[in-house]
Amino acid sequence: MRKSDYVIYNFTENNEEVSFTFLMTSQNTYSRLKLSDKGEFERFTWIPTSSQWSLSWSSPKDQCDVYDLCGPYSYCDINTSPICHCIQGFEPKFPEWKLIDVAGGCVRRTPLNCGKDRFLPLKQMKLPDTKRVIVDRKIGVKDCKKRCLEDCNCTAYANTDIGGTGCVMWIGELLDIRNYAVG
């Protein structure tokens, strides 16, 4: 939990939920959330001295913050042009990819060969969308890799925290990946 002068932030992660909430510290301080017609999520705070709402936070911050901008098996890198790239071993699904129409994302160059496949480490990347994952907090990253290799539907794996414990395995397409390397 983090606290500022006027708001308390709380991040919850357990078996039942993953959520982010905030609470104003004073009943005299007002804040509102707005989803704009452009899909921007904005938080405004009321400033009594000017009698105006002030934008205190918004998302997306850049193009790569747009959900799944580049499609499956690709990643977004705000420091390059074009910003969408296929993961190594994948290629654009449609030729229009080179014309910056990234609909369809990327597809494998060669089909999976269950039992003989290997993984490519991706560093400084945001983890893919977690809609279709299996999580096991009891095993380490080595056992996670082994378990993923044994499951022909597993497309990626990672440890669940920075310390290297816990396991998350992705089943199916990898979506919404972003490169965080400084350009």
- The pLDDT, as a whole number, for residue 160 is 84
> Which residues share a beta bridge with 179?
125
Q: How many CB atoms lie within 10 A of CB 104?
A: 14
| CA–CA gap between residue 36 and residue 79 (Å, rounded) | 26
pLDDT (average), residues 155-164: 83
Q: What is the pTM of this model?
A: 0.76
Q: Is the pLDDT of residue 3 over 50?
A: no
The domain segmentation of the chain, as residue ranges, is 2-59, 63-179
For 3, the 3-state DSSP assignment is strand
Give pLDDT tens digits for 73-118.
999 999 998 899 999 999 999 988 777 778 789 999 988 888 788 8
Q: What is the pLDDT of residue 26?
A: 79
Which alpha helices (H) appear in the chain, and where do they start and end?
141-150
Q: How many CB atoms lie within 10 A of CB 13?
A: 11
The pLDDT of 115-144, averaged and rounded, is 90
162-168: average pLDDT: 80
Q: Tell me, what's the pLDDT at 4?
A: 59
Ramachandran angles phi, psi of 147, nearest 5°: -65, -40
Q: How confident is the model at residue 1 (pLDDT cuts 50, 70, 90)?
A: very low
**41 C-beta neighbours (distance < 10 Å), count:** 13
Q: What is the structure's pLDDT at 66?
A: 87
Contacts 24+ apart (CB under 8 A), 27-36: 31/7, 31/56
Q: How many other C-beta atoms lie within 10 A of the C-beta of residue 108?
A: 13
Cβ contact 13:20 at 8 Å: no
Q: Is the pLDDT of residue 183 over 70?
A: no
Model confidence pLDDT, tens digit, residues 22-63: 888 878 788 888 988 877 888 898 888 899 999 988 888 888
